Structure 1
Amino acid sequence: MSQLLIRNARLVNEGRVVETDVLIKDGFITKLGSGLSDAHSDKIIDAGGNYLLPGVIDDQVHFREPGLTHKATIGSEARAAVAGGVTSFMEMPNTVPNALTQELLADKYAIAARTSLANYSFFMGASNDNLDEVLRTNTADVCGIKVFMGSSTGNMLVDNEQVLDQLFKESPMLIATHCEDEATVRANAEHYKAEYGEQATAGLHPLIRNEEACLRSSSLAVELAKRHNTRLHILHISTADELALFRNDIPLTEKRITAEVCVHHLWFDSEDYARLGNQIKCNPAIKAPYHKEALLAGLLDDRLDIIATDHAPHTWAEKQQHYWQAPAGLPLVQHPLLLMLDFVKQGKLSIETLVRKMSHAPADCFQIDRRGYVREGYWADLVLVDPVRPITVAKENILYQCGWSPLEGHTFGASVTHTIVSGRLVYENGRFMTDQPGERMMFTR
């Protein structure tokens, strides 16, 4: 480790914007204030009045390793993440093989310890028949239990009502759910296959994976959580219909049921299928424009607690298949901060709210040890942003292994200039500065 000094930054943190210097030593923030001494610093960064933010914590990504490494690897996607200001991620268990045992979960941690530039954690996967394995999960060093209450890769659909009830009753830690009612989705798919056959396009996706499927499943998850006082986090809310399930009358730290919205459900809507087709096919589906507006309102009034990506890369060839065969998911982890900074420029949310929803709230929601805030004694996970340097998304600057983005051609109004992960400068103006991996996140439960 070394000593790093950041000067002349406009720090956005805990609801305020203040001008300050930040001194970092041996991975941690040691001092905040003006005119800090640089006598022992190995490197000095002059922020020049640019924004300094706590690093983004993305609580939902699919980095495809092991087993699907033709799409992505932990190493490749972590590099894309830090280039976009995402300093920490939580990755999902539907890799191949599915992370349904403690040994398979440990394998993923071992890969990340070798190859991830970002800090990392991995969800333990639940199935219809691995409750004993789930209950062995260590609450101090694993982010949570993932339950697919809708179709997924391999043996990860949990549709046995008795098993669901036991999981919610006995889980020692946070349960994160993908909520779509499988019976509703299958019935809708059969209907539209009969009607459209091979003429089907991605525009049907929000009709097949519709509002009813989401609301039925989310309502069941909330009912189970209330019955057993389970710590429940519902991932990627995509409909206005579901917002009534969530509270905004108590602080996040007191909530037993929380929810997130993903950037693509705030950015795209069903009118974009005509232009982008399968590129924006994802589960749950991107839906009609009024849902997008309602989700933003739910984010601002604190019914929705966190902004995430659900980064889920597939190869371009896979996405070019017919609608029925094309896989669901889109690559996003390089750009969530820039997407939301565009919202700031448009006046849709404040930069203080952006930081609260992308950094503070994930840390509070998952009870992450000393991350998510810029405080003395906390890990130094930081991102510097030039708010007036535009960047256009293009093939040559997309860092995902899959090599494409549904945002290609869009010009963002701001740019990430520096990213610091656990006290190490890992990204500076387009260059990666170290091959030293990030740290395994720990949790104070």
Structure 2
Amino acid sequence: MDTIANFFSFITTPVSWVIVQFHKLFGAIFGPDTGWAWGLSIVSLVVLIRICLIPLFVKQIKATRNMQALQPKMKAIQERYKSDKQRQSEEMMKLYKETGTNPLSSCLPILAQSPFFFALYSVLSHIAEGKTIGVINQSLLDSARQAHIFGAPLAAKFTDSAEKVAALNASITDVRIVTAVMIVMMSASQFFTQRQLMMKNVDLSVKTPYMQQQKMLMYIFPVIFAVMGINFPVGVLVYWLTTNVWTMGQQMYVINQNPTPGSKAQDAYLQRLLKSITHRGEVRGRRRKNIVKIIVAKSSSDRNDNERRFFTGLAKAGFAPQADGTVVKSDTVTAEAEGAATARRQQPKRQTKAQRQAAAQQHAKDAEASDESADTVSDAPTAPSLEKKPQSSAKSAKTAGSQGQGDQPARPSRANSGGSRQGQAKSGQRKGQQRPKHPSSKK
């Protein structure tokens, strides 16, 4: 760690200067030698750095979403050119170029923070060793060594010996309790940040290996930070805990206000927007109008389930979205939505397997009863009646044939004679005319 910190020694002077300026401000309020003055100076350094990194954070969000959208195409390229790695890489680069996606953009905020992180680590290490660095002179050095946060010096570590901690006017128990609590909070904030990204802001309709990688990172990163945290000074733990909390809050705001299409966060956002439109009768805000405008510009097949539910809700409320992102009141849309809902409600429910079998058996029994009643009527020597009676199509055809053959008596059908010999057919057996056996076959 010290070797890496020395590599970024060129930025230690600007970092130490910023800390000293904030220390002057907070020292006038809380006292120059207090832990509040030095701790808040480190927190203010983090806030200043993260504000400067907001443009990179926006690029990170766009790059992450583009990578999620490109996962199906990337997977297809890997399957197509799995035996040719060079061609696979060329097609990947071509895809990135066509879509304007940079895979490294998702790492830009972390890479940009690294120099400041290691510079702060170098400053605190020099304070622990009693050495001046950057613009921190001897008087500021003595003040920083006296500063404690809940009894733990800024420059103390979890792995420090009791003698080294005693030289900083503290006890080893206080240092280890404070550092352990801060390490747990740092790891928990990292886990929660990654978890809310995976659970709320991921397109659930696309299942790709990228999602599995993000789930692995959700569990791996907190463990890495916990292992590395025991070697960080208290001041560095303050820095890293502050930046994790900032990231968590910043990401929560983005998820609530600009969610990924197809995610749970988008569904919640569109439902809030629908409620606002229904209550106010209009779309308020440029950003909300842009979101409605983007959804309207899509074709019905390109919209995801969340966007279709949003449009259905607007139609039921009597609003028609326009191409400019606004909505207008329309009674026709309400009538169409109610008619579609009624049509869906009138559709028959799907029957279970047992219900379908029972219905088939009942239909078979009704058919057999109809055939038997028709045979009884045809065999009885009664005068023909002008009243029409329901008969099966096959029986009607046979009756017509017998009338065309003169005075020959009508022969009973083979199916009826077979039915009289065998009785009612069991459920599951074939009914009607059976194929005769071959003379050479065994009985």
TM-score where L is the length of structure 2: 0.19
| Structure ID, larger Rg | 2
Is the strand fraction higher in 1 or 2? Answer: 1
Which fold has the larger relative contact order, with Cα–Cα distance below 8 Å and residues 6 or more apart in sequence?
Answer: 1
Is the helix fraction higher in 1 or 2? Answer: 2
TM-score where L is the length of structure 1: 0.19
